[in-house]
Amino acid sequence: MRAIRRFTVRPVLPEVLKPLGDLARNLRWCWNTDTQDLFRSVDPDLWESSGHDPVKLLSDVSVERLDTLSSDKRFLKNLRVVQADLADYTSGDLWYAGFAAEHPEAPAGIAYFSPEFGITEVLPQYSGGLGILAGDHLKTASDLGVPIIGVGLLYRQGYFRQSLNAAGWQQETYPLLDPNALPLTLLHNDDGSPVTVEVDLGGGRVLAAQVWLAAVGRVPLLLLDSDVERNAGPERETTDRLYGGGTEHRLAQETLLGIGGVRAVRAYCKITGTPVPEVYHTNEGHAGFQGLERIREQVVAGVDFDTALETARAGTVFTTHTPVPAGIDRFPVDLVRHQFADFGLPLERVMALGSEDYDGGDHGVFNMAVMGFRLGQRANGVSLLHGEVSRDMFQGLWRSFDTSEVPITSITNGVHHLTWVHRDLLALLEAPTGSTSDSVIDGYDWNGLVDVDDKTIWNLKRTMRTELIAFTRKRLAESSAHRGLSTDWVSGVLDPDTITFGFARRVPSYKRLTLMLREPERLKALLTSKKRPIQIVIAGKSHPADEGGKALIQQMVQFADEHDVRNRIVFLPDYDIGMAKPLYPGCDVWMNNPLRPYEACGTSGMKAALNGAANLSILDGWWDEWYDPAFGWEIPSAEGVEGDQRDDLEAKSLYEIIENEIVPRFYDRDSHGYPKRWIQMIRETVAGLGPKVLASRMVRDYVTHLYTPSAASSRSLAAETGGPEALAEWKRKVRDAWGDVVVDHVQSLDGDQVEVGTGIHVSALVRLGSLDPSDVEVQLVTGRVGSDDQLREPRITPFPEGADVDGGLRRYEGTVQARRAGSIGYTVRVVPHHPLLVSTAEMGLAAVPSGLSSPPSA
């Protein structure tokens, strides 16, 4: 018989060992090696067999062992030290305290919404990069003392576990999770009853959820769970799986995440006395309904929709994560109408927020990313290149403006070093206390390997490879046995002195898992070379509904099964954080060959680099930004060439670089047997990329460039006379009057030629209709022009205040310096102007000389 539920009998720890329970329930253990070592010392074998899971360890450890530990002086002393360290960590002043002292406008709280969180393998609530990023964001916020509250869902079956069948086809299993066996506590009201939030699913269906609390260091993470008795069967299943089910199921999940999430935050803040967040950060479109709930809260209190929208927008940050159209969340319009029919907001206003009402848009869908931009006054992509691609992709929302003016900025992702860097390498980088060197960040000197000799670095790298090999053999033996294959050969798989390549990530088609198989014989020759072989470790899950992805995995597995190469190339099933941790340090080269520009950022290469691996990658995402020959290699991207031919070309480059550059550099040895140039590359990679790829750089960027300005906007809006209501009223007035705004006549006062360095004088006659001159800015726009007369890289110069002339016109005169020779074009435009607008393009309105003013779009 199959159990339908599990529950866990929690151990009763002896009084002196009680703090172990507290340590297990604060996830800081997963990035604190002293705490991990303490748990290991409870029972080293159990620690291994539990998969490094403290809660499981404590529930399985024998009473005798606990008795022994209760009187083990050394253990108790360690326990006290680790306990005191956590207490210091959770209560001390960290970076944010100083930042907030210098920036009084810094927010008192930030709510961070994400559909997935990848914090540790024992809390499998993530599928890939988006979740890992969210996990690293929370951990880093904790390390820096940033007052964030994470908000997500608790999926009772998490994401799936991957195994392979004999033929190499992906199998999925969904082990049931028992929240009581996870490092979670249920959120309770003051009277001891569990906190329940309810959301309406439309048509009178009510969905209830309880709220689990994960302590991520100092940061609370609230996870909503629909598996409660009062829900009817189908509703109870809402939080069953991450990205599971059909469209309706997804909509119910996202409704719970966004709307239920805000309600959970309210409850949490009230119960714990935590300051209510001023800024709401939506990590990807899935959580976008949180903005609707914050608007509804105000509308219920008597505020009109437009006013509430202004308040919500000012305090919202939206991050878009994908340039792949299929990756954008869209729902059929009818489903969303049904969902929000009785929500308490004017339905047409809700629907308009997600409408693709631009050229080429689909009127049948509600687009969550589009809503994200309309509900967030600030928005960003996740690398410089992705910012650029996103401005282009969503330009339709601001169609009167040049792509470069689209108000989407970028903050490049980063990774949490304490989670991802091998502990022995971190030890080498530890900075002496009080060190003030520029290369010291967060206590580590990223330039520290300069003072470490070749031998030490090379031995450490060999240790890292050896650990990966041990992990690989164990996982491969399990997998081979599961597939019904022999396992006797597994103990000889991989070699600690052979150059090791890694390739692991989700398997959507744009990531091109099998590009390396383009010329199988050529890859075989590399793997089986007698003198200078390479070896490759590969991993990745395909979304269960993606048959194409599964076929790619099978192709890879079947290649790796072949007897002449199976010792040198392995596919490891069930990629997760637990595998990723030994994988990055164990690799010498990290490979990435996405179809440019579909990799928004990518973070696995950053984790590899921090562990001294070189990157071999297409210039996409973060690598496009920070590539340098000192840190690895660029695979030339054959953009413009289509399909198979593009793959052929890029694969050819991949082989050539490996054959001609990578392999020789690795195997060229000096008289002591060390690969001098390779070791130098390790030093330079850690020194050069270290400071850039840190998640602490990323979180500081969010705090400085998005959270704090957003909180400042919220406060200015509230402080403004009339507040958000006045802004909403002003926007209405401007929109209504915009049709009458006309650039009537423009003339240059210089003829057709000017010299570099002299001024271009322009005069414009403008009609403002019912608007006041202070409602607008009149701008001179200059830039290079080609034969199509399009202004490239436009430069914007506001005209000085104009003067009324006859006939309801105003004359503006201005000058701009001609900076370079060549053909320069110019035009004049009028845009709305208000101190609380963040970008010129914000309202989507601009009047240009044709007399055609574009309709509003944002």
Query: Which residues of the chain form contacts with ligand PLP (CB under 6 A)?
Result: 128-129, 132, 505, 575-577, 580, 602-604, 607
CB of 250 to ligand PLP, least distance (A): 21
- Is the CB of 472 or the CB of 604 nearer to ligand PLP? 604
Query: Closest Cα partner for 573 from 168, 175, 174?
Result: 168
CB of 594 to ligand PLP, least distance (A): 9
112: which strand partners? Answer: 150, 281
User: Going by C-beta distance under 8 Å and a sequence separation of 6 or more, which residues neighbour residue 806?
Assistant: none
User: Going by C-beta distance under 8 Å and a sequence separation of 6 or more, which residues neighbour residue 329?
Assistant: 250, 254, 284, 285, 286, 367, 368, 369
- Is the CB of 483 or the CB of 511 nearer to ligand PLP? 511
CB of 707 to ligand PLP, least distance (A): 24
User: Can you tell me the distance from the alpha carbon of 592 to that of 350, in angstroms, rounded to the nearest whole number?
Assistant: 40
- Is the CB of 370 or the CB of 610 nearer to ligand PLP? 610
CB of 601 to ligand PLP, least distance (A): 7
- Is the CB of 128 or the CB of 691 nearer to ligand PLP? 128
User: Can you tell me the distance from the alpha carbon of 285 to that of 371, in angstroms, rounded to the nearest whole number?
Assistant: 8
Question: What DSSP assignment string belongs to 522-554?
Answer: HHHHHHH-SSS-EEEEEE----TT-HHHHHHHH
Count H helices and E strands in the chain, helices first: 31, 29
Q: Which amino acid is at 532?
A: R
CB of 612 to ligand PLP, least distance (A): 17
Query: Closest Cα partner for 834 from 758, 728, 690, 676?
Result: 728
CB 629 within 8 A of CB 641: no
CB 542 within 8 A of CB 552: yes
Q: What tokens appear for 813 in the block?
A: 């005169």
- Is the CB of 307 or the CB of 604 nearer to ligand PLP? 604
CB of 103 to ligand PLP, least distance (A): 31
CB of 239 to ligand PLP, least distance (A): 21
CB 683 within 8 A of CB 457: yes
- Is the CB of 162 or the CB of 604 nearer to ligand PLP? 604
DSSP 8-state symbol, 490: G
In three-state form (DSSP H/G/I as H, E/B as E, the rest C), the secondary structure along 706-741 is: HHHHHHHHHHHHHHCCCHHHHHHHHHHHHHHHHHHC
Query: Closest Cα partner for 460 from 683, 246, 301?
Result: 683
CB of 717 to ligand PLP, least distance (A): 37
- Is the CB of 129 or the CB of 387 nearer to ligand PLP? 129
CB of 632 to ligand PLP, least distance (A): 14
817: which strand partners? Answer: 759
CB of 375 to ligand PLP, least distance (A): 27
User: Can you tell me the distance from the alpha carbon of 175 to that of 576, in angstroms, rounded to the nearest whole number?
Assistant: 15
CB 221 within 8 A of CB 229: no
- Is the CB of 227 or the CB of 599 nearer to ligand PLP? 599
CB of 686 to ligand PLP, least distance (A): 18
- Is the CB of 607 or the CB of 731 nearer to ligand PLP? 607
CB of 669 to ligand PLP, least distance (A): 31
- Is the CB of 622 or the CB of 730 nearer to ligand PLP? 622
CA quadruple 500, 506, 509, 510: dihedral, nearest 10:
-80
CB of 577 to ligand PLP, least distance (A): 5
CA quadruple 151, 155, 159, 163: dihedral, nearest 10:
150
User: Can you tell me the distance from the alpha carbon of 12 to that of 471, in angstroms, rounded to the nearest whole number?
Assistant: 33
CB of 427 to ligand PLP, least distance (A): 22
CB of 604 to ligand PLP, least distance (A): 3
CB of 324 to ligand PLP, least distance (A): 12
- Cβ contacts of 700-704, under 8 Å, gap ≥ 24: 700/95, 700/144, 701/411, 701/412, 702/137, 702/281, 702/317, 702/411, 703/96, 703/99, 703/106, 703/144, 703/146, 704/99
- Is the CB of 219 or the CB of 577 nearer to ligand PLP? 577
- Is the CB of 313 or the CB of 541 nearer to ligand PLP? 541
- Is the CB of 129 or the CB of 832 nearer to ligand PLP? 129
Q: Which amino acid is at 669?
A: R
Under DSSP, is residue 424 helix (H, G, I), strand (E, B) or coil? helix
- Is the CB of 128 or the CB of 261 nearer to ligand PLP? 128
CA quadruple 150, 153, 157, 161: dihedral, nearest 10:
-50
- Is the CB of 131 or the CB of 802 nearer to ligand PLP? 131
- Is the CB of 350 or the CB of 580 nearer to ligand PLP? 580
Number of C-alpha atoms within 13 angstroms, CB side, residue 471? 25
CA 287 from centroid of its chain's CA atoms? 13
CB of 586 to ligand PLP, least distance (A): 14
- Is the CB of 505 or the CB of 568 nearer to ligand PLP? 505
CB of 310 to ligand PLP, least distance (A): 36
- Is the CB of 511 or the CB of 550 nearer to ligand PLP? 511
User: Can you tell me the distance from the alpha carbon of 402 to that of 637, in angstroms, rounded to the nearest whole number?
Assistant: 27
Strands 206-216 and 110-113, by their bridges, are unpaired
CA quadruple 707, 710, 711, 713: dihedral, nearest 10:
160
Q: What tokens appear for 333 in the block?
A: 């319009």
